[in-house]
Structure 1
């Protein structure tokens, strides 16, 4: 199958029709390239705040509420496009006020299938900006999506830097991990990319990183964006020696498309040069006690 990871430019939109047209064009382009799974980035949905005007888009609290109010319509749009093109889409995440989870918004990405089935994944661990400035809250549990393309998990940006989150999804059966991201500068991009590549190594799986790109001076939350699309696997049997199946050009809006063979994931897990996924279980016994020696 082919997987497409977006390097998605943030734009100030002059109305819902502009948003609808933009998403439709992006989905059509990826589907036209043969992609069956499309991954949009973290906080790409912040564009929806511009539909409430510049003052709302430029205020952290008002922009979060404006996006949340439009998220249902945006998800329905992605669902229609998924059905029309016969593709699976992880839509761009954004703040959602969910009364079941508390008073503060969560960072939520919706996943839609061509059948019309859908679900969502909330970010688990907040960055300092999300905690200290924006008060975005941790969301619901990790979810494994059992799809026609395979078993898929989602780790939103910072979550990909934590191996135990990925391990929980791997142990539940995940073969592909989607990593929508939003990073301001190159160090942030590389932190998430290195995390995504490490999770592919540890879990002997495929990880897919999507990014926001470009300046958005109208937003306090996503004013500067640096990133690229990328698809990664373990540097082992059946995969490139670098582990990089495809990597986009930094900060250039585009889809990065890679062909992924699900059988290669099963094969490397069963008979790779190394068996990271299987040998993970040996760690607790080795790490349970640390002997301290004085060599001064």
Structure 2
């Protein structure tokens, strides 16, 4: 298809009284997006960590074990919500054991792995297909405090709107990863994020826009917002402005912004990703960095660095 109407969320960390309130709030956002014509909705990194606010503060190990215990319910809930509403759902990221398979819907074929937990994004489709991507680059905090293992594979997958990839938060700050996705045909990168401060948000935001320019593709960013009344070690305060971004070139706006939300508001942002316009950009833009790259030179420079020259 030549156009995707996508909703991306600024998910509010409000105080909730029950798990039912959490799941109902998610369902309401999905139904609202569907009513507005969205064909896909993107929730942020650590969306299900909101459930930790219902418990006394936990250690990181206990928090991971608790969230992993919700995985079957999480997948069932979002799968049913996707099917009932006819909308693809990137269900944020969810902490689960590493032994759940990466992508292609083959969750039942997971192989036991003793390395603990991963921060994994799941994209569920109305036909029951599930694509998954573990966060590859863990932040220093995730490395120090969370019992998480980094992902070690990049899943670029087909959809009715073309090929896509999921780069979670810190992953978008590494240009090599987005370039690898683009070289494998990705035209859209989905970026669920959780940033605690304006500093963190702007790092992710500016890198998201840079990846769109470098690779002449779309990047869709979602984020947590707000502050819980009671502090939690894992997730309790957040800063974000969700948006959808294109190359800063013809035929898109000079700043490459397709749509952005109001900073730190609990809200949803809708944007149209027009893939015919993206092809126009790649064929007729003022610059074409995706095609003008010089891989032979880059390999030579990398070899020189490795050899110490």
What TM-score does the superposition give when structure 2 sets the normalisation length?
A: 0.88
- DSSP 3-state at the match of 2:253: coil
Q: How far apart in 1 are the matches of 2:163 and 2:282? A: 15
Match of 2:105 in 1: none
Deviation at 1:285, TM superposition (A): 6.4
Deviates more, 1:220-229 or 1:134-143: 134-143
Q: Give the TM-score, by structure 1 length.
A: 0.91
Match of residue 183 from structure 1 = 195
| Residues 1-296 of structure 1: pairs in structure 2 closer than 5 A | 1-50=4-53, 53-55=54-56, 57-99=57-99, 100-216=112-228, 217-282=230-295, 284=298, 287=301
Instruction: Using the TM superposition, give the Cα deviation of residue 140 of structure 1 relative to its aligned residue in structure 2, in angstroms.
Output: 4.2
CA distance in 2, matches of 1:71, 1:226: 26
Cα RMSD over matched residues? 1.8
User: What do residues 107-164 of structure 1 show as CA deviations (whole Å, max 9, x unaligned)?
Assistant: 0011011111112110001101000122321024110121112211000000000001
Runs (5+) with no aligned partner, structure 2? 100-111
Partner deviation per Cα, 1:190-247 (whole Å, 9 max, x = no partner): 0000110010001100000000011133421112100021100101112111011111
Structure 2 vs 1, CA of residues 197 and 101 (structure 1 numbering), >3 Å: closer, same or farther? farther
Matched pairs, number? 287
Q: Distance in 2 between matches of 1:114 and 1:237?
A: 34
> For the residues of structure 2 that align with 1:180 and 1:44, how far apart are their CA atoms?
9
The answer to which of 61-70 and 11-20 deviates more is: 11-20
- Distance in 1 (CA, whole Å) between partners of 2:14 and 2:134 is 24
Closer/same/farther in 2, CA of residues 232 and 101 from structure 1, 3 Å limit: farther
Q: Which moved more, 1:280-289 or 1:259-268?
A: 280-289
- Where 1:92 maps in the other structure, the secondary structure is strand
